[in-house]
Amino acid sequence: MTSSESAQTVQVQSDGRNLPAYLARPAVTNGNAPGVLVIHEAFGLNDDIRGIADRFAAAGYVALAVDLFAGHNRVVCMTRMLSGIFLNSLEHQGVQDTRQALTVLGELPGVDASRLGAVGFCLGGSLAVAMACTDDRVKAIAPYYGFNPRPLEAVRRSCPVVGSYPGQDVTRKQGEALRDELTAAGVPNDIKMYEGAKHSFANQGPNFDAVASVDAWNRVMAFFDEHVVEGRI
């Protein structure tokens, strides 16, 4: 599947703003397909994130990747969102925007609204975890090197989580804390630390780690097959 053949741009309306979003659909479906929200990192909605949406579409999902920085300065948006992550973890603008994007995804023709997941990278990973604590429509999330909400106890009401964290990064401790809290609460999880990997190891760039990236992707696919596609809790 290529983006030119099966992708389009749609609009997500959130708090009076129009946020463009990249929509990728599977080439062939049998009935309504599961949906996945792809949440970008600090670099915004770029070709790397569109490529991840395409990969999910090739795996049978309708994938939506929203541009959270649309119409605003990226640095200013990042500053506000990072402040929100640490000061208002569960209700800041980024979380509200991702929840609205999830609404749009669930209402799209051909999407099974009872089978929705989310994947996010760094900033997006943090938003995915926060959304999982505040929106029971999402059945599983896949945070990559993100930060946990405050207080951490909020994750006890999360959906199942498959998380991927680099061994050589400050977010490693975030992943370990998330794993321990979810396990204590009985929330299904598969959280792995990749020794030797660095921040953004799954995204194309100087820290890309092909081995860790492939392993993380395979874990996400298996976990989503169980908790999103099959709907197991």
Output the pLDDT for position 5. Answer: 46
CB 97 within 8 A of CB 15: yes
For residue 196, how many C-alpha atoms fall within 13 Å in the half-sphere facing its CB? Answer: 5
The pLDDT value recorded for residue 88 is 59
Q: Could you report the per-residue pLDDT of 118-151, keeping only the tens digit for each? A: 999 999 999 999 999 999 999 999 999 999 998 9
In which element (H, E) is residue 139 found?
A: strand 138-144
Of residues 176, 145, 161, the one with CA closest to residue 228? 161
Rounded distance, CA 88 to CA 104, Å?
A: 24
Task: Please tell me the pTM assigned to this model.
Answer: 0.91
Among candidates 24, 32, 28, which has minimal Cα distance to 52?
Answer: 24
Residue 1 is predicted with a pLDDT of 35
Q: Are 139 and 160 in contact (CB under 8 A)?
A: yes
> Which superfamily is assigned to 3-229 in CATH?
Alpha/Beta hydrolase fold, catalytic domain (3.40.50.1820)
DSSP 154: G
Q: Could you tell me if 46 and 135 are in contact, meaning their C-beta atoms sit under 8 angstroms apart? A: no
Q: Show pLDDT as tens, one digit a residue, over the chain (233 residues).
A: 334 346 799 999 988 889 999 999 998 777 899 999 999 998 889 999 999 999 999 999 999 999 998 866 556 555 666 665 666 568 788 889 999 999 999 999 999 999 999 999 999 999 999 999 999 999 999 999 999 998 999 999 999 999 999 998 999 999 999 999 999 999 999 999 999 999 999 998 899 999 999 999 999 999 999 999 987 66
Are 167 and 146 contacting, i.e. CB atoms less than 8 angstroms apart? no
Amino acid of residue 18: N
Residue 159 is predicted with a pLDDT of 97
Helix or strand or coil: residue 96? helix
DSSP class of residue 141 equals E
* CA–CA distance, 60 with 54 (Å, rounded to integer): 10
Determine the pLDDT at residue 3.
40
* Contact (Cβ atoms closer than 8 angstroms) between residue 93 and residue 72: no
State the pLDDT at residue 73.
55
